[in-house]
Amino acid sequence: MKNKKGLLILILLILTNNAFTQKSSVKEYASTVESSSLVLPQIQVVPIKDTKTERNYELYIELPEDYSENNNKNYPVLYYTDAMWHLEMLSGSTEYILEDIILVGISWQLDINKDLKKEVGKHVSRYRDYSFRKSNKPEIQFKYQFGQANKHLDFIRNDIITYVDKTYRTDPNSRTYFGYSMSGEFGAYILLSKPDTFNNYILGSPSIKNEVAYLSELNTKFGPFDASNRNSSLNANVFISYGSLEKDMEPIEEFIKLLKDRRDSGLSVLNEVIEGTHGTAFPMTTVRSVTWLSSMMNHVSSENNDISFWSTPHLNNPYISTTPENRNDGISVDTLAVNTKDRNAILNLSQEIFEGKHGSYDAVLVSHKNKLVFESYYKKGRINVPHGQASAVKAYTSLVLGRAMQMGYLSMEDLNKPLISFLKDINPEKITKGAEKITLHKALTMHGGLTINNDTWKDIENDSVRLKGQGLVQTLLEQTKPITSESQTYLYGNFNPMLVMTVIDAVVPGTAEDFIKTELLDKLGITNYTWSNHISGLPEAGWRVSMMSRDMIKLGNLVLNKGKLHGEQLISAEYLATATSGIVKPTEDWMPKDYRYGYFWYQTSVQVGNKSYDASFAWGGGGQRVIVIAALDLTIVISGHDREDKIMTPISEIIIPAFVTQ
């Protein structure tokens, strides 16, 4: 199709050039040659009637080039209104960015009042069909019949979509709406009144200047988001744009805020400001939005990853593979070799995860005997995009310490020495009584004993000068109450991890940041990641790290192999055995009662039949987990953004038992 279009453009250019260079013969040709309209053979024109209102319209349907060759393939569908205005740009954009999609353009009403059509234009019905409130001026209302968006929406849902789904091989999980200006306003109405009409919404410069209050009413009527009720989510990906020179940007920004304030985990909203006015921003809006749309059709992202995690659109369909591909990233792959019953159970669980039955999760990967045998991505998960790790970073910090120990910068005996003995910049005269009771062992098990007033710390925590380097520990030890046996109880948080990171920075050559990169991540082949710095300038030790799910597998397999990588002892085996054991009992109410804690690693037992298997795991909020079950040669990685985080139950009941007899 690209070649055909290119040839057509070339012919048109040649003809245009001839028109300018042969002016003397133009009139002669014009008088002897009858002109004709250009017909695009790939566009099917289908008459369709609104069965309720008896109004007549047309659909302009463009099928993918390979549609007739793939009889077993279902295709996503992009529906767009104002068809005659939008057809060419959408056809061209999808041709080069998103080929495998069915385009369905919806015309304006054909059998509209002729006098009105002549006075206003062929597009006059859009004022009635795309508006959701009546005009307060009787003469205007009588003429244009504003406020019939509900009827047009019924037509789209009951007649158009029904026809397209029955006639073509469509993907019910990948249905998109495109609207610009007033038809963008119509799209906003659909989103908040019948959000399940489409999975994805492209709203270019929506004309909602006086409609935000009504849209807010629709949002209130739909109801707030409740994580425990999947039906309370709008379950949609939304692209909203406007021109940088538009006059009425504020209402669009209000609408965007309205959507984001839902805190709806099933709703993804991306806002883009396109250079230009309301009119000139249209072409680039089309290109940008189609590019955005392509990002949810594939588990491999082609985007530059500049958008925030929460703006990342949800995949329209899950990617589930029992034969993961070899991406030449240092990970060995194999086939999921479990019995048919267990295999089907895992696949069924994967579909349930995609449907949100177990919460909001983005990836589940399984490595058996150091080979990746199962890989799946959902929602915001992408194979090549780093995912936030939350508090799983604490466990990675523990591995960094183990690397320093293997290289001789620390010893097992050092774990029980006063932490401040490694920090030469600390002024002992200013720190609290009992500070010497804080050891690496105590900090690693969340028993540091720091007690600091939250309000006081809020006034200090952004002081980059005072907290720079070891100034962080100096300030913590100045602000805390005395360290006693009574204060050194389990207290989860990020102070203890930063105590450990400060020691790492003090004992390794160069900086902790360089050490993490060269001595751990580089050796594992982990290159696509972000590891943020704390206000102190040191690497974060408890959160604010993003990493790809496959790289999480590498960290898990390193633990599975007792710290060895390709025959080299990367992490001290003695340290790692202690770090991943159940040293202390966490006392936080939100932690399961059977969990124990090592050196920033959790430990628990998984019961399968009458057998029990020890599991060590890194755990971060939202559902980030790197689970290692040495007795089964098993590493399981989970990425998510779920508030309740209950995924361990199906993992323990379905995935882990499948490998017990392998």
Residue 304: pLDDT band with limits 50, 70, 90: low
Predicted pLDDT of residue 37: 62
Q: Residue 494: what are its φ and ψ, rounded to 5°?
A: -105, 0
User: Residue 612 is inside which H or E element, if any?
Assistant: strand 611-620
Predicted pLDDT of residue 1: 44
Beta bridge partners of 388: 546
Which residue do the tokens 């057509």 mark?
A: 8
What's the chain's average pLDDT? 93
**Nearest partner of 192 among 212, 214, 222, judged by Cα:** 222
Rounded CA gap, 293 and 98, in Å? 8
Q: What is the pLDDT of residues 396-435, one digit of tens each?
A: 999 999 999 999 999 999 999 999 999 999 999 999 999 9
Q: What is the pLDDT of residues 172-202, one digit of tens each?
A: 999 999 999 999 999 999 999 999 999 999 9
Q: What is the pLDDT of residues 533-560, one digit of tens each?
A: 999 999 999 999 999 999 999 999 999 9
Where does residue 500 rank: exposed (0-12), middle (13-18), buried (19+ CB within 10 A)?
A: buried
**Nearest partner of 491 among 584, 420, 400, judged by Cα:** 584
Predicted pLDDT of residue 303: 67
Which tokens sit at 488?
């050194």
- pLDDT more than 90, % of the chain: 89
Task: Report CA-CA distances (Å) from 451 to 19, 420, 441, 576.
Answer: 84, 17, 18, 29
Predicted pLDDT of residue 641: 95
Q: What is the pLDDT of residues 310-356, one digit of tens each?
A: 889 999 999 999 999 999 999 999 999 999 999 999 999 999 999 99
Q: What is the pLDDT of residues 566-614, one digit of tens each?
A: 999 999 999 999 999 999 999 998 999 999 999 999 999 999 999 999 9
User: Residue 560 is inside which H or E element, if any?
Assistant: helix 549-560
Which tokens sit at 38?
């250009």
Predicted pLDDT of residue 101: 97
Rounded CA gap, 316 and 175, in Å? 9
Rounded CA gap, 566 and 353, in Å? 34
Rounded CA gap, 184 and 203, in Å? 5
Which tokens sit at 232?
């309370």
Residue 662: pLDDT band with limits 50, 70, 90: low
Comparison of pLDDT for 280 and 230, the residue scoring more: 280
Torsion of Cα atoms, 190 then 217 then 355 then 79, to 10°: 10
What is the arithmetic mean of pLDDT over 204-230?
Answer: 95
Contacts of 202 (CB under 8 A, 6+ apart): 176, 177, 178, 179, 187, 239, 289, 292, 293
Angle at 44 between CA 39 and CA 50, to 5 degrees: 125
Angle at 240 between CA 220 and CA 644, to 5 degrees: 55
Comparison of pLDDT for 203 and 227, the residue scoring more: 203
Predicted pLDDT of residue 241: 97
Residue 14: pLDDT band with limits 50, 70, 90: very low
Predicted pLDDT of residue 661: 75
Predicted pLDDT of residue 350: 98
**Nearest partner of 161 among 89, 61, 88, 72, judged by Cα:** 61
Rounded CA gap, 254 and 363, in Å? 33
SS3 of residue 237 by DSSP:
strand
Rounded CA gap, 403 and 422, in Å? 17
β-sheet with 545-547: strand ranges across: 387-388, 545-547, 529-531
What is the arithmetic mean of pLDDT over 98-113?
Answer: 96
**Nearest partner of 381 among 321, 323, 331, 326, judged by Cα:** 321
- Residue 303 gets the label, from left (phi > 0), alpha (psi -120 to 50) or beta, of beta
Asked if 451 and 470 touch (Cβ cutoff 8 Å), the reply is no
The total of other beta-carbon atoms located within 10 Å of residue 9's CB is: 10
Predicted pLDDT of residue 39: 65
Asked if 638 and 623 touch (Cβ cutoff 8 Å), the reply is yes
**DSSP 8-state code for residue 532:** P
What is the arithmetic mean of pLDDT over 443-468?
Answer: 96
Predicted pLDDT of residue 308: 86
Asked if 181 and 207 touch (Cβ cutoff 8 Å), the reply is yes
Comparison of pLDDT for 343 and 662, the residue scoring more: 343
Asked if 295 and 314 touch (Cβ cutoff 8 Å), the reply is no
**Nearest partner of 170 among 106, 105, 100, 238, judged by Cα:** 100
Predicted pLDDT of residue 160: 98
3-class SS letters over 16-63: HHHHHHCHHHHHHHHHHCCCCCCCCCCEEEEEEECCCCCCEEEEEEEC
**DSSP 8-state code for residue 518:** I
Residue 28: pLDDT band with limits 50, 70, 90: very low
Q: What is the pLDDT of residues 369-382, one digit of tens each?
A: 999 999 999 999 99
Predicted pLDDT of residue 509: 98
Question: Would you list the DSSP string of 398-456?
Answer: HHHHHHHHHTTSS-GGGGGSBGGGG-TT--TTSSPTTGGG-BHHHHHTT-------HHH
Predicted pLDDT of residue 3: 42
Predicted pLDDT of residue 230: 86
* pLDDT at position 358 over 60: yes
